Amino acid sequence: MIQAVYSLLATYQGASVTTVGHSVGGALALLDGIFLRMQLDPTVDVRIVTYGTPRVGNDVFASFANAMLAGRMKHINNKKDPLPIVPAITLGFHQTSGEIHIQGSGAWIECPGEDNADPRCIAGTVTNIGNAQWSDHPGPYNGVMIKCN
């Protein structure tokens, strides 16, 4: 992957790199974005945008990612999607900062910090799997449903 990115950046001077994914693909996009930030020239703008992404690492990992990509990560969570709250905080897992939570009304709310307990944010809305709604996982995200057939 990295050779292809180097080649594209050489071809398209000044280009930026954005990794994107949904669900487990979002977890991979997060890991790839961190890897690319570590490998690419610091002048290359690297961003991460994910949808319905589970927690990937512990608090040390989340702090590392937040420092490495400050203000360049967005993880978008839909209503009562259960995936963003797993694995559980009680097992030591934490979300990175950059949450945008889609409300039942359709409004998009920015939630500062990691695992914000505000009831307008995913960790405050879906406090356990019992009050989650699996049908929210595929979207909609700006009217787009993400699902495999």
Active site residues per annotation: 23, 81
Cis geometry, peptide bond prior to residue 87 (ω within 30 degrees of 0):
yes
Please list, residue by residue across 68-82, b when 16 or more beta carbons sit within 10 angstroms of its beta carbon and e when fewer do: ebeebbbbbbbbbbb
**To the nearest 5 percent, what fractions of the chain are helix, strand and coil?**
35, 20, 45
Which residues contact residue 76 at a Cβ distance below 8 angstroms, ignoring those fewer than 6 apart? 49, 50, 51, 52, 99, 100, 101, 102, 108, 141
